[in-house]
Amino acid sequence: MSIWKAGVIAGIAVLAATACSKTGDGDAIDKAAPAAVEVPKRKPGLWKQTMLVEGADVLQTVKLCIDEASDPKLAWWGQQGFKQACSKNEINRQPDGSWKFSSVCEGAGVKTTNDGAAVGDFSSRYQLRAESTTTGAPIPQLNGSRTITIDAEWVGECPAGMSPGDLELPNGQRVNMLEVSGQ
């Protein structure tokens, strides 16, 4: 795998797993779900997420360990975080049972928009498809528009040595997404 693809994989994995739940000054916001909307929660444990990034020819599988406290901080709908402020962060249940989401997050000169939908029970499996556009990223390969599809499956309890928020990349490297995003 080229260094470029490895960088795109790591960058998109980080972006896809991090929630936009903070303002630029670190205060929590919750524009994602009005009081009347109960956003589905994933079952605590280890989730295997196979991600296809169209246009970058990237297909990878990562593992994410979550618990009840980390799940809302690492939103399944993939809003970008890193202490960015989100001027738009909406999620709505559709009549067919799917969930539509849309966000616009900006900070440190980086702007990311996401629009997509997800289906599934969030206890054993879900699938997400999103159109994501990033501009102003310091790593040029992270800029541009991409279609991202994530197939996620609950595989069991988190293994010993893996903490909530830990994301295991295909090469075995682990990154704690709560630490990376400053949460």
Question: Residue 128: its pLDDT value, please?
Answer: 95
| Amino acid 31: pLDDT | 43
d(CA 58, CA 126): 20
Torsion of the alpha carbons at 34, 40, 43 and 44, rounded to the nearest 10: -20
Range with the poorest average pLDDT among 15-19, 110-114, 171-175: 15-19
Nearest of 72, 107, 73 to residue 87 by alpha carbon: 107
Instruction: Calculate ∠ Cα 35-16-123, nearest 5°.
Output: 60
pLDDT at residue 160 greater than cutoff 70: yes
Average pLDDT over the chain reads 80
**Least trusted range by pLDDT, from 20-29, 68-77, 118-127, 162-171:** 20-29
The pTM of this model reads 0.77
Sheet holding 45-54, edge to edge: 85-93, 99-107, 110-120, 125-135, 144-156, 45-54, 58-66, 166-168, 174-176
